[in-house]
Structures are given as C-alpha cells and as structure tokens.
Structure 1
Amino acid sequence: MVKFEAIMLEDFLRCSDLTPREVRKKVLQQISGFLESMGKSIASFGLVPNDLSSFDVENQTRELLPERSITVREEDLNAISLLNEKQRHAFEIISHRVYENKSGAFFVDGPGGTGKSFLYRALLADVRSKGYLALATATSGIAASILPGGRTAHSRFKIPIDLLEGRACRVSKQSSLAAMIRESKLIIWDEAPMSKRSAIEALNDLLQDLMNSSEIFGGKVVIFGGDFRQTLPIVRRGNQSETINACIINSPLWPSLEKL
C-alpha cells in the first residue's frame, strides 16, 4: 500500500475537496470493494492503518453506499398522511418498534390492490428520511422493482436458489453485506407467500447469527407481506399437499408473526 499509495491517491485528490485522511479512506474502501468481490476481506491483508479501523473501511463499501444513496421521494413521504385507517394502524405499530429499538416480526395480509405496497413505500420513506437503513426486498423481481431500492430476497440475502443444497444464506459475518444487514432498522419482504418457507427460515437463521441473538429474526423489525389468494410456492413435480407444506403458514415461525 505504501509503495503505490501516491499513485492510488492521484485521482481522488484531483477530483475532490476531501482531506488527505478522507482520500486515503476512499482508496481503502475501493480496495476493500475489489477484495470483497473476490470473496476476501481487507482486514486479512494488513492494509488498514492504525488511525482507521477495518470496520470503518469495510462498512462503506459497495453494498452500503448504494443503500445510502437512495433518494427519498416527496410523494412517498406525503403518502404517510394519505394512509387509510388500517394502513395507519399498521404504520404506527411498525414505526413504534423501529424507533423504540424493539423487535417485531409482522405479516401484512391483504388482497391484491388494497394498498400493501403503498404502506411499504411510506414506511421506507419515513425510516430513510431519518437517516436509517431500510432494506426493501420481494420474492419476485417485478414486485421488487415497485419498491424504492428493491431487490429480490434471494439476491439481497444470498439465499440459495436450490434450497435442497441447504438453508444457509451465503453471507460472511465479516463482509460489508453483513455489516449493512446488522445496521438496518427495517427489512421488508413483499410477496412472501410465493416463497418457500425454507427461504424465510434461512433468513431467520442468518439474522440470528449476525445479531448473535436467539430472538426471532435476531430481534430485527421484519415485515412479510402478500396475498395467499394469489400464487403459492412452486414445488417441482409437487402435489397439492407438498405445495401447502412449503408455505410460510406451515413454518414454525408463523405463529410468532404478528398479523396485520
């Protein structure tokens, strides 16, 4: 790092008004991102100087920066005042858990077109506007694209597509993705009834591991939502009973979810 430091600092010094210390941190964050893409951690290479911590460097890499740069739209903030009675009830219960640092695992149930996504957008805008992280995910890419900053749950939490290989999410506890998940105040998973219960149980295992907690979903505030009247999980060559057994309602987690 010392040998090539001057060369690596050049572009950052030319294009910004940052202090030398901030520029050095930017370079280290870029290196950390490159290493992470190869499954490595910068902490393993002794590149971080004593006046910076590995957490400071890794915590601002490619996973976290896009989340922090999500624009909160005015119309989503205004949506809070337009919520109907049942949406407002759910909004207040969930917000209370978020800002009081209390755990909460919810299932928002409602037929298609009754305003679940409208509620999610209001919650995401409220949390993000206060400077906190909120992760928006969905089972399908189409549903994820409706939510600001939305990703598929399989992509966001590295859940294996073929769950026969095991339930474990492929997230290292030392990665920036793990740091981002730990920092998040709210996690939303839309169209959850379309997903197999094993995927949702894998998320529970991941959060408990990352948060070092035996509470459901590691004590995080997590919202699942969807409509059981629509598409259920797809079980290859499965009969009706196998499909129903794969549903979230047959998960041991289901009785612990608060239904809204």
Structure 2
Amino acid sequence: MPFPSEVYFRNAVNRLLQEETSYDKEELKILHEKNHGILNAEQKNVYDFIIQNVYNKVGGVFFVYRSGGCGKTFLWQTLYCRLRSEGKIVLLVASCRITALLLPGGRTANSRFHIPLKLDQDSTAGIRHATDIAELIQQLI
C-alpha cells in the first residue's frame, strides 16, 4: 500500500505562523512603553541598533552576551514587545534550554531550526521545503 503524500498530513492552517501572529498587540504595546522607559544606556544602544536594522530591512541575527543578571532578557522582552505589538514575527531562540525558558515562546536554536546536535562538515539543518517552519521563515523575508 503506498504511503500518502505529506501534503495530506498538513492542516490548512500553518500552526507555527498562527502562534507567531496571535498575540495581544495592545498588551504588548503597553508593556513595551513601560519597559522602554527604564532601559539603561547600554541596553538602549543595543535596542536602537536592532530596531534600526529591522526597519531598514537590513535584518540579521543578533547575539547579546554579558554576565548573568545584567538585563539581557529584559532587553529582548522590550524588543519583542515592540515588534510583536506591530504585528511582526519574532522568533526567539537561545543557545541553552534555561535561557529559552525565560523567553515567551522561546526555543533553543537546535529545536527551532532543526539543527543537528552533532555537527560536522556534512551537517545541514533539517528544514524541508513546504513545511510549517519553512513557511514561517519565508514570512520573515
């Protein structure tokens, strides 16, 4: 008996895209305004740099690193509140599970982008064409 095509197993609605666009925009806007007012100077510089890259459609991957307790998660919260309140898709990924737990909807980079844990010169991400994650990433472009 032939195995049905993958198309038959997919829902008409992209679950990932729906998750990334179904936020309470007004609540996020209020939280952004509150948080933005208390960013320190260094956080504000990073915030402005990332926002400028987003609106100039430069894009990029932004990695913020410092010691624990310096406000990295607060900075990311302020950024995603602004962008999500404007209807933009923000994929929050972290390098470790504990950090991913601190971010709403956060995931490790390995799980979000199907990156194999054992890397070598032949490793590739496991995102296949026409899957929900592929469509979600295409929406970012």
Sort the TM-score into its range (normalised by shorter chain): 0.7 to 0.9
Which residue of 1 is the match for residue 21 of structure 2? 68
Q: How does 1:65-214 map to 2 (within 5 A)?
A: 65-71=18-24, 73=28, 74-164=30-120, 166-184=122-140
Q: Which residue of 2 aligns with 1:40?
A: 6
Q: Per-residue deviation at 1:69?
A: 2.2
Structure number, greater radius of gyration: 1
Deviation at 1:162, TM superposition (A): 2.4
Structure 1 unaligned spans of 5+: 1-37, 43-56, 185-210, 212-260
Report if the CA contact (8 A) 1:171-1:177 is conserved: yes
Alpha-carbon spacing, 1:164–1:61, altered in 2? closer, same or farther (3 Å): same
- The one-letter amino acid paired with 2:49 is I
Are the equivalent residues in 1 in contact too, given 2:113–2:126 (CA < 8 A)?
yes
Larger RCO of the pair (alpha carbons < 8 Å, separation 6+): 2
d(CA) in 1 for partners of 2:65, 2:95: 15
Letter in 2 for 1:155: S
Tell me which stretches of 4 or more aligned residues in structure 1 moved more than 6 Å.
Answer: none
TM-score, normalising length: structure 2: 0.80
Q: Percent identity among equivalent residues?
A: 32
The answer for unaligned runs of 5 or more in structure 2 is none
Corresponding letter in the other structure for 2:15: R
Length, aligned pairs only: 134
Cα distance per residue 1:176-199 (max 9 Å; x no partner): 211211223xxxxxxxxxxxxxxx
The one-letter code of the counterpart of 2:20 is: E
Tell me the alpha carbon deviations over residues 99-141 of structure 1, each in whole angstroms, 9 at most, x when there is no partner. 1211334432322111111111111111100001000011222
The answer to whether the 8 Å contact 1:41/1:175 transfers is no
Distance 1:156 1:105 in 2: 14
**Could you say what the CA RMSD is over the residues aligned between the two structures, in angstroms?**
2.6
Separation of aligned partners in 2, 1:104 and 1:151: 18
Whole-angstrom distance in 2 between the partners of 1:100 and 1:67: 22
